[in-house]
Amino acid sequence: MPPLDLATDLDDSDPSESRNYVTALARGLQVIRAFGGENQQMTLADVARVADLPRATVRRCLITLQTLGYVEVNGRFFALSPQVLTLAQAYLRSSVLPRVAQPFLERVSETTGESCSCSILHGAEVIYVARSSRKRMASLHRDVGTHLPAHCTSMGRVLLASLSPAELDKFLKRSSLEAFTPFTITDPATLRDALSQVARDGYCVVDQELEVDLLSLAVPLRNGSGRVVAALNISTQAGRTTREEMIAHLLPVLRKAAAEMRPLLLG
């Protein structure tokens, strides 16, 4: 599979200043991303506000997307059409990672009784590229394509721990370490120490830093050449599982899955 260019994602330069940058395409994608979360149907003014773009620009983008079949119109309201799913399918069909990961995630979930996911690092976030079908907590209803902050998630920390010192410096310089619960690490020095520990341990446990009562465990997923290309995790409720129990009983299962997947990921 092609390498993940983390250095490019974390580069200090502004890509919009490049002469190869297509502003119209960037704005069109920005409009598509505006339809996230609870924003399923929006007026032109709503889209302009969420996308932080001029109304005239948003109007042209919406008309173009409607013409191409990616947006539907109902009176004053705009919504994404099912055709948008073909954009995600293009990635899922062209990347070997989701196809390789899915059966292993299902096997881990069947063995442990917990949800299992696979994510990659993109900028300051992790993106779910595969997910087991088992879901036990309402808060764990996260599908493929979900974005989560890297600094306070187990998969994010595993991936951040694999960065070079220069890449990690750029991440800490550009990222706002938002507090999601009273337990979230928001101090850059403390986070750097935590990542050093993750690198030494080869796994990460995050206890209620993203959501209260959410406990998660992650391990790095390496390709055939040994490079970290993704992370695998198991999430459960902190109220019914301890950190020690996760490490004793769930960590060996995750590590076994990652080891078995490695020769299938060429690179």
Residues 74 and 111 in one domain: no
Task: Return the CATH number at 104.
Answer: 3.30.450.40
On whether the CB atoms of residues 204 and 218 are closer than 8 A, the answer is yes
Looking at residue 8, what is its pLDDT? 43
Last residue of a domain, one of 33, 53, 81: 81
Residues 241 and 124 in one domain: yes
Is 86 a member of any domain?
A: no
- What domain count does the chain have? 2
Residues 46 and 77 in one domain: yes
Task: Dihedral sign for Cα 143, 118, 122, 170, please.
Answer: positive
Closest CA to 112 of 79, 134, 80, 140: 134
Closest CA to 133 of 170, 108, 157, 158: 108
Closest CA to 71 of 42, 91, 45: 42
Neighbours of 56 (CB within 10 A): 10
Any idea which residue has 């299938």 for tokens?
A: 264
25: left (phi over 0), alpha (psi -120 to 50) or beta: alpha
* Across 125-136, average pLDDT: 82
Residue type (1 letter), 96 = V
Cα–Cα dist 134/115, whole Å: 5
Which tens digit of pLDDT belongs to each residue from 223-253? Answer: 999 999 999 999 988 888 899 999 999 999 9
Last residue of a domain, one of 24, 51, 81: 81
Any idea which residue has 């337990």 for tokens?
A: 183
Question: Which value, in Å, is the radius of gyration of the alpha carbons in the chain?
Answer: 20
Residues 124 and 208 in one domain: yes
pTM for this predicted structure: 0.75
Domain that holds residue 75: 6-81
Is 27 a member of any domain?
A: yes
Task: Return the CATH number at 41.
Answer: 1.10.10.10
Strands (E), 155-209: 204-207
3-state secondary structure of 126: strand
Pick 184 or 83 by higher pLDDT: 184
Asked if the model's pLDDT at residue 137 lies above 80, the reply is no
Q: How many CA atoms lie within 13 A of 32 on its CB side?
A: 20
Is 176 a member of any domain?
A: yes
